[in-house]
Amino acid sequence: MSKPRYCLRVCDGPSCGVMHGSERLVALAERIIAREPGLAGTTVVRNYTCFGRCDDGPNMFVQPLGPGDDPDRDPEFEVLERERGFYPGMDETKLERVLTQHCGRGEVVDDLVDDY
Ligand code: FES
């Protein structure tokens, strides 16, 4: 099995999780990843506690995984700041685009990504 290249971190903090229902995004992301050959095995989904952008939720971050990166460990703050991978205000349509374009082809979705 190939090593994952991306970790999709979906916020499940009090705002994104409770107010904005981010668990639906997690379930949908896992379904899309499982059905797409270009994503299965290369992208994993993990929850994240809070990005500090609660009013914009549900929020997620696409983290590129290097050789030593463990998807089960939260990224350092510098990674969140450095990588263009923070996607606020997600819905199902936006999630499909991010998975296909960013995780599938390695291209940031410019009209959806935001500074962290
Ligand atoms: S609860 Fe999601 S950014 Fe704070």
Ligand 1 atom nearest residue 17's Cα: 1
Q: Is residue 110 part of a domain?
A: no
- Which pLDDT score, from 0 to 100, does residue 4 have? 83
Cα 26 to ligand 1 centroid, rounded to whole Å: 14
- Which pLDDT score, from 0 to 100, does residue 109 have? 98
Q: Is residue 80 part of a domain?
A: yes
pLDDT band at 2 (very low <50, low <70, confident <90, very high): low
Cα 49 to ligand 1 centroid, rounded to whole Å: 7
* pLDDT tens sequence across 36-83: 999 999 999 999 999 999 999 999 999 999 998 999 999 999 999 999
Q: CATH number for the domain including 22?
A: 3.40.30.10
C-alpha angle 20/22/24, rounded to 5°? 115
Q: Is residue 23 part of a domain?
A: yes
* 3-state DSSP assignment of residue 60: strand
> Average of pLDDT values for 3-24?
92
Ligand 1 atom nearest residue 13's Cα: 1
- Which pLDDT score, from 0 to 100, does residue 20 have? 87
> Average of pLDDT values for 79-103?
97
Total domains in the fold of the chain: 1
C-alpha 79/C-alpha 87 separation (Å) is 14
Q: Is residue 34 part of a domain?
A: yes
- Which pLDDT score, from 0 to 100, does residue 3 have? 76
Cα 58 to ligand 1 centroid, rounded to whole Å: 7
CB neighbours of residue 39 within 10 Å: 21
Q: Is residue 115 part of a domain?
A: no
Residue 115 has pLDDT above 90, yes or no: yes
Show the domain range for 92: 6-105
Q: Which residue has the tokens 């994503």?
A: 39
Residue 1 has pLDDT above 80, yes or no: no
Q: Is residue 53 part of a domain?
A: yes
Pocket of ligand 1 (CB under 6 A): 11, 13-16, 50-54, 57, 59
